[in-house]
A and B are shown apart, each in its own frame.
Chain A
């Protein structure tokens, strides 16, 4: 029985390695490699969408990693490389999209919510104050309350 279990585990392991793809060889120059990784962490993999190019093992991400390393070696600046990708895949490739009319709501939305919240709080506070004032006692009640308090003090 144990032998079958071991065989099964070995088969699973073998299957896993069959699916693994070769990693992109790291650039020889550590400076290039560091710049490439920093860039890749700011870029979206369009195949998996919620991973950066640095994290992704998708085929396209591998190709783009290679492309980025080649461009760094060719002396391109980070901005030029980002622009290269934006020209091809659009702003969506950037995890930090630029401020444009179409992204205004994306960038401004949280501030709008904040302003809305503050206004809401303000209005609520005012209304509540109004209600508290309304709940003030009439002269008659005031006199009764004072009498009660008085009698309490007497007892103490």
Chain B
């Protein structure tokens, strides 16, 4: 009996590790940008490209930056959540339209609704690199000092909003 105990023990430990591994999402790589100042940018607005917007314009306010694109499938899943959230007027959501065609992006917003206070265009994805974007959609919560406090990789779901983003925003708005 005793000689079966050791292999059984090893098996149980192995299954434990595998079970843990199955629950983890390998796509969720912790961002080194958390608690760092939001990388600077000045980009043209989507609706009026003559005007530009910089992350500095938001100093003193808590805000969210959502990276989206009309070609991004998960963004479509996320979109209604953001539209509903923006109607609650809790925190301004800005859109970073990532590597997109302006016409497609505008058509997308007019068809599915526009949750964004404003969207800006990162046509060549250069600012996306600075923000460590690798899986659109991604969402950042930025505090009054312009520091990134949270990053969501993949779609924002109602659960994530209620459990993580809203409590954080309330605390930051304090």
Contacts and interface: CB of A to CB of B under 8 A. Distances in A.
The prevalent SS among residues of A at the interface is helix
A87 B34 CA distance: 11
Contacts of B31: 89-90
A88 B129 contact: yes
B11 interface: no
B63 interface: no
A67 B132 CA distance: 13
Contacts of B135: 46-47
Contacts of B32: 86-91
- Chain B at the A interface: mostly helix, strand, loop or mixed? loop
B174 interface: no
Interface in A77-107: 86-92
Interface residues of A, number: 15
Interface string B30-73: 11110000000000000000000000000000000000000000
A91 B30 CA distance: 9
Nearest to B27: A49
Nearest to B130: A88
A73 to B, nearest CB: 16
Given A59-B99, A89-B32, A90-B29, A46 B129 contact: no
A88 B99 contact: no
Interface of A: 46-47, 49, 59-60, 63-64, 67, 86-92
